[in-house]
Amino acid sequence: MFRAERRSRREERNGSAGRGAPVSLPSFAADRLQRCLAALRRRARPLFPEPVVQKHLLYHACREALLSGQCPVCRLVAASTQQRLRHLFHESVNDPLVRESLRGSLGYCSRHAQMAAGASDACGIAIFYRDILSRVLRRLEAAKRGTRLPAPSPCPECLAEQADERRCLHALARDLRDPDLQAAYRQSNGLCVPHLERLLALSAPEIVAFVADQEKARIAALADELGEFIRKHDHRFAHEPMNAERDSWRRALQKAAGVRANLQEREP
């Protein structure tokens, strides 16, 4: 009896005698519920959010290198090589792993040997290369005995540079969707052709389209300057003064081949 009375009073409050009838909320509660739902919708994350570029140290290094006027990959690789060589000959002369690596390659390739001579101290070079020449003497003795000599391993600094190049190119391929990095690319002289080809092979279609548009304009302008340079070498126009095209041949070499020069050298 009491249960029936309580149920009857509850149904009266709800405005319906039916057990399954919907319950109406007071207006203030409905309004609050709508505001909560709207807030949740604003905060809800999309199922596939847009990727966010993490502005790590390499991102900033690539941006700064773009603004230097050089191919950013060439510049970063050259800076890393010089730093590594300075550290090696000053700090790692007695490191057994480093010394064994240079023994195996019988020293550096000619390019890195020249860089080492300019970036390192003479005593460190003497210690390393005395060890290397001792290895060469032992190989000569083995060759006299008829021993088949194994080929030297690759130059360790060439291998390190290849790893640096891969790291820089992957960073550009990942981060060039960032508006700030794209702005730096627009202001730059772009990449050399070897690094440009590798970047295009690594990048998503939208980055390929952006880079291709930028480089087409630069390369077309450089080709026009080369044409003007060639025209003014014709005797009919030799009286005309050279302008910006004067060093276009040098810039074309750098664009097509890249530059692994000392960073202290002046740009032409």
pLDDT tens digits for range 61-109: 999 999 988 899 999 999 999 889 888 888 888 888 888 999 999 999 9
**What's the mean per-residue pLDDT of the chain?**
83
Torsion of the alpha carbons at 164, 170, 171 and 172, rounded to the nearest 10: 110
In this prediction the pTM is 0.71
Kindly state whether residue 201 falls inside one of the protein's structural domains.
yes
Q: Give the Cα-Cα-Cα angle 245, 248, 254 (nearest 5 degrees).
A: 160
pLDDT at 124: 86
Question: What confidence tier does 50 reach under pLDDT thresholds 50, 70, 90?
Answer: very low
Kindly state whether residue 251 falls inside one of the protein's structural domains.
yes
**Residue predicted with more confidence, 246 or 54:** 246
Tens of pLDDT, residues 102-112: 999 999 999 99
> What does each C-alpha distance from 88 to 69, 120, 136, 232 come to in angstroms?
29, 8, 22, 49
Kindly state whether residue 268 falls inside one of the protein's structural domains.
no
DSSP H stretches of helix in 15-69 = 27-43, 57-66
Q: Are 125 and 117 in contact (CB under 8 A)?
A: yes
Least confident of 2-6, 29-33, 99-103, 167-171: 2-6
pLDDT at 74: 95
Domain span at 116: 57-257
Count the domains in the chain.
1
**Residue predicted with more confidence, 177 or 92:** 177
Over residues 220-230, mean pLDDT: 92
Over residues 169-189, mean pLDDT: 95
**Residue predicted with more confidence, 43 or 255:** 255
Kindly state whether residue 266 falls inside one of the protein's structural domains.
no
Kindly state whether residue 138 falls inside one of the protein's structural domains.
yes
Amino acid at 97: L
